Structures are given as structure tokens and as C-alpha cells.
Amino acid sequence: MPARFLDRHFDYIIAGAGSAGCVLANKLSANPRHSVLLVEAGPADSHPMIDTPKGFAKILASSRHMYYFDAGPGDTGKSSGETWIRGRTLGGSSSVNGMQYQRGHAEDYDHWARDLGLKEWAWSEMLRIFLAQEDHALGPAEWRGVGGPVHVTPSSNRSELMDRLLDAAGELGIPRREDPSYPEGQLVSYICANIHRGRRWSAARAFLDPARGRSNLTVVTDTEVVGLLFDGARVSGIECIQAGTRRQFRANAETILSAGTINSPKLLQLSGIGDREHLDSLGIPVRHHSPNVGRNLREHLIFTMQYRLTGDYSQNGEYSGWRLWKNALYYALTKKGLLSTSPYDITGFVRAHPDSTRPDCKFVSAPITMDLSKWEGFHKQIPMEKEPGCSIIGYVMQPQSQGTVRASSRDPRDAPKIVHNQLSHERDRKVSVALVKFMRRLFEQPAIRRYIDHETLPGSDVKSDDEILAAYAMMSGPGFHASGTCSMGTQEDSVLDERLRVRGVSGLRVVDLSVFPTLVSGNTHAPVMAVATRASELILEDSLA
């Protein structure tokens, strides 16, 4: 490369400062003999709305802090496209998400170990890590940790309507728990969130901030990784664009991609690691034929239902006019109140389909409804409805439908082509229909019935299975939990081995949500941090081999 390109060496280079990258930066730099570089494409996480839990809606509209991707339909299944968003700042999506803290279920990880041969990832290993990373406000339990860097706090936004909805779930035989991470069976609970003293507690707060003072850790922002550097078959570093100038950084030990489910496979493909036919079509020289790079894309598909209430049991009015200003002032002075809580208040893990042997769907609910007729995209916030309402959203937790992420050209500035392929698998269609029917049964229970006037979305006229699936095509969307595009496995055609090393080259690993061979049950921020912690153990073990 031209001599004007700056060159600097580190032991470990981490591309991406999201949930995984922040953990890795902390763990790998804990030894002062290791020099670590963390590179983030977006800016620092200094925007005041990042720290404000209910301020996330403002951040979602900021193109400086967000990626926006178009995801198109496949040949079967859901026929409409979607917009997928990802955080583009220190902390990644943990700085812009809904903050729910859920770990997935034991069977998710035991399935990886037992059925997929990924012995390093059994629940016994992962539970150890979850317990160590948590500082749970509910206190210690056999399945719950305290004293760790990740603060977890139950929702303080308790309301009569949500209490009655929890009671309604009890009438369906679903037990109420104080902690949604309770390890067994169906449950309903007030949400526990990554909020500490009224502030969002992102991966950057939990892991990066405590390490920032280390002289052996370098963090650079507004620097986009555009490719990998090679010495023969060994990855020796990264190439970046920083303030319009190309820069190179070299890794003495390892380069780690933590750019996420969309950008990590794209970077592999741009660097010649991917399906030969695809790379040939773009004119990219093939370094290693890895046909599954960008495949196995799985995403939670969210379906929203809304209800009009018989009285003012809603909080819609608190988010507009003088009440919003009152709540904002109260939050600014005390870090308490509505703006200090997560977007939704209660959650549940349920068996919606009779054939399921364990919880197959998740829902969340809050005493709010948005005026979706005003939806213009993420660049503009949706107003709340003026009339009192309640919303519930749910998704199938273990989707079988698989899509793809593929680089669309050799130019790293071009967005990849994403095919979501949602509802292409028969099982997903069956459980998705069962989920809608379950959410309706929930709102028909005696404990909640007197509060409900009627269903406004999708409407009671949507009844048959076919009508419900047609409604999915019109009004469902992504859960922002996309995974699997660089999945680990024991097969030769797996993108990664069980220690997250990229097959076909040396000196390169992937550590982010793209490595998950299947989706876990629930939100993904906590599992990604735990996987990154486990990955740091494997990296350090291998460095001694």
C-alpha cells in the first residue's frame, strides 16, 4: 500500500464496539502486556438521549448513531420488506435498544452443545458467565448474580392495567415471577432492564468505561473498517477509513470481527472469504471458499396488537404536551419517573402452540399505543394515540426460517443485500398464528376484560389463519435480534469452528451475534455479552497453547 498510509501494531484488534466488542476490549486488555485496539465506525456515546432510557426513540432517528438497512422478502413466506436498524456508536445496539435483560433458556445452549457438538457452549458454562456478569437489584439467587459489571433493575413503572394483565396470564395457568430470568417453564413478570439509577446501562458503560484508563487500550471512533489485511493465509490486521483517509492497523496476535450480524459477513465477503460463486460475481478474488458466510440468517418477527380501553388506564397522555415536559423536568432533576424506565413494562414466555414442549413465544406489553397511521420511518418519532390504549407485541422465539446477507458490490460503502425470508418455514407460520390467538385469549380473561373496549390492531375481523398471516405481511417487523450469518459449528463448511476461529485462514475470529447457530429465547443483548466473555476465555487459552 502507499507509504502515506499510517501503520501501527497491536496484539489484538477488535472491529466493532458493540455489545461484544466492549466486553472483548475489557477482557483482553486486563493483562497490561496485551495491547488492544477497539475500532468503532460511529461516534462516541455522548448524546444525552442515549443515557435517558425513554430517549431511545430520539436516537433511532439519528443517522449519525444508527445504521438503516433494507431487508427484502424471499420467494416464499412474508411478502413485504422491512427496515432493519443497528446502533452505530460506542456500545453499538446496547446504546439504542429497549434495554431488556434476558439470558435465553438453558435448552438454547444445551441444544448447541448436545445436538450441534458445540461443547464449549453448554448451559453450565454460560450460566457461570451470566452469574458473574450480573449485578441484579433483586439480589442473589441460584440463577441470578450480584456484584458484576452489568446492572439489572426491575421496572418501576407499575400500573393497575399491567397488574391486571399479569392476573389474566395467571388465569391462563401462567405463573407470575419477579424475575423474567427464572430458569424454568412459562412465566410472566415485570421487565428487568439494563438501567442503573435512572440511566441506560449499555455494554459501553459496563465494560468499556472501566477500561478506558488503561494505557494498553486504544479506542478510536468514527473509523470504518473496510477490509482485512493478509500475510499469506493469515489475517494480519484491518484497513479503515478515518476522516476520509485510509489507514491500516496490524495485529500481532489476532483480529476479531465484532461488527454484527450484517457487517461481519459483509467484511468477510469483501475480503475474499465467502461463497465462491457470489464472490466471482462481484469480481472479488477468493481467498477461502466458505459457502455459508451470510447464510443462516435468523430474526425474531414481531407482531403488534393494540386495544382501546374503557377508561383512562393508559399512559398515552404522559408523552405529549405539558405532561411530557413535566416528566422530562422530573427526570432531569431526579433521574426517576416515566423517562427512567424501559419502553415496555411486563413480559411473558409462553407455549402458544400445543405441539411445543417448552415456551415458544415471548410477549411484552405496556399501557401505551402509538398512532401507526403517522408512521413515516425511523427518521421521525411516532406520536402516541390521544385516546387511551394498551399494546402488546410478541414473537416466535426459535424461528426456523433462514435468510441471507450478501455484499452487493466490491465497494464497502454499498449496503449489503439482505433477504429476511421471514415465515418461509411452516413451523414459524403455525406458531406465529398461535401467538396472535394466545395474545387475544390473554385480553379476553376476566381479570382484564372490563378494561378493554375493543381490539384496534389488527382488528377483530382478522380471524382465520390465512387472514392472520396476511396481517403479518402488512404489519409485522424485525425484533432487531438478527443472528447466525457467521455461525459456529463442527462441520467443515461451518464459517467458524467451535472456538469462533474463521475456517480457512488463521489469526481471525468473529465474536458477535452472527456466531449464534440458532436464536436464543428472548432478547439478545445479555447473551451476546456472555458469548463475548466466553470467547475472551478461549482467545486467552489459545494464546498460551
Residue 1, pLDDT score = 32
Mean pLDDT of 234-263: 97
Lookup: cell for 325: 415536559
Burial of 98-117, coded b for 16+ CB within 10 Å and e otherwise, reads: bbbbbbbbbbbbebbbeebe
Mean pLDDT of 3-23: 84
Mean pLDDT of 529-534: 98
CB 302 within 8 A of CB 395: yes
SS3 152: strand
User: How far apart (Å, rounded) are the C-alpha atoms in residues 228 and 257?
Assistant: 10
User: How far apart (Å, rounded) are the C-alpha atoms in residues 201 and 130?
Assistant: 16
In a domain? residue 212:
yes
In a domain? residue 393:
no
Mean pLDDT of 164-192: 96
User: How far apart (Å, rounded) are the C-alpha atoms in residues 68 and 85?
Assistant: 5
Checking if the pLDDT of 371 tops 60, the result is: yes
CB 33 within 8 A of CB 253: no
User: How far apart (Å, rounded) are the C-alpha atoms in residues 406 and 388?
Assistant: 44
User: How far apart (Å, rounded) are the C-alpha atoms in residues 278 and 258?
Assistant: 23
Q: What is the 3-state secondary structure (H, E, C) of 385-428?
A: CCCCEEEEEEEECCCCCCEEEECCCCCCCCCCEEECCCCCCHHH
Mean pLDDT of 98-120: 97
Checking if the pLDDT of 3 tops 80, the result is: no
Among 316, 329, 435, which residue's Cα sits nearest to residue 382?
316
Checking if the pLDDT of 274 tops 70, the result is: yes
Share of the chain above pLDDT 90, in %: 93
- CA gyration radius, the chain: 23
**pLDDT bracket for residue 6 (50, 70, 90):** very low
Average pLDDT, the chain: 95
Mean pLDDT of 252-266: 98
Give tens-digit pLDDT for 484-498: 999 999 999 999 999
> What secondary structure does DSSP assign to 48-116, as a single string?
HHHHSGGGHHHHHT-TTTEEEEEEE--SSS--S-EEEEEE-STTGGGGTS--B-----HHHHHHHHHHS
Put simply, whether the predicted model's pTM sits higher than 0.85 gets the answer: yes
Q: What is the 3-state secondary structure (H, E, C) of 422-488?
A: CCCCHHHHHHHHHHHHHHHHHHCCHHHHCCEEEEEECCCCCCCHHHHHHHHHHHCEECCCCECCCCE
Q: Which residue has the cell 382465520?
A: 464
Checking if the pLDDT of 379 tops 70, the result is: no
Q: How many domains does the chain have?
A: 1
Q: 51: Cβ–Cβ under 8 A, 6 or more apart, which residues?
A: 199, 200
In a domain? residue 101:
yes
User: How far apart (Å, rounded) are the C-alpha atoms in residues 192 and 504?
Assistant: 41
Element (H, E) at 41: none
In a domain? residue 511:
yes
Among 44, 53, 47, 52, which residue's Cα sits nearest to residue 100?
53
- Say which of 47, 105, 481, 525 is annotated catalytic: 481
Among 365, 386, 389, which residue's Cα sits nearest to residue 317?
386
In a domain? residue 161:
no
Lookup: cell for 4: 502515506
Checking if the pLDDT of 4 tops 60, the result is: no
User: How far apart (Å, rounded) are the C-alpha atoms in residues 8 and 3?
Assistant: 13
CATH number of the domain where residue 105 is located: 3.50.50.60
Checking if the pLDDT of 117 tops 80, the result is: yes
In a domain? residue 433:
no
In a domain? residue 69:
no
**Greater pLDDT, 543 or 18:** 18
Residue 236, pLDDT score = 98
Determine whether 34 is an active site residue.
no
Among 261, 273, 267, which residue's Cα sits nearest to residue 298?
261
Checking if the pLDDT of 162 tops 60, the result is: yes
Give bridge partners of residue 366 from the DSSP assignment: 391
Lookup: cell for 423: 415465515
Mean pLDDT of 77-93: 96
Residue 7, pLDDT score = 52
Element (H, E) at 22: helix 19-28
Checking if the pLDDT of 451 tops 50, the result is: yes
Residue 183, pLDDT score = 84
Expressed as residue numbers, the domain containing 35 is 1-48+82-148+201-298+483-545
Q: Which residue has the cell 399501557?
A: 367
In a domain? residue 305:
no
Question: Backbone phi, then psi, for 86, in 5-degree steps?
Answer: -145, 145
CB 437 within 8 A of CB 431: no
**pLDDT bracket for residue 5 (50, 70, 90):** very low
Q: How many residues does the chain have?
A: 545
User: How far apart (Å, rounded) are the C-alpha atoms in residues 274 and 266?
Assistant: 9
Residue 381, pLDDT score = 72
Q: What is the 3-state secondary structure (H, E, C) of 172-218?
A: CCCCECCCCCCCCCCEEEECEECEECCEECCHHHHHHHHHCCCCCEE
User: How far apart (Å, rounded) are the C-alpha atoms in residues 19 and 26?
Assistant: 11
Mean pLDDT of 119-129: 96
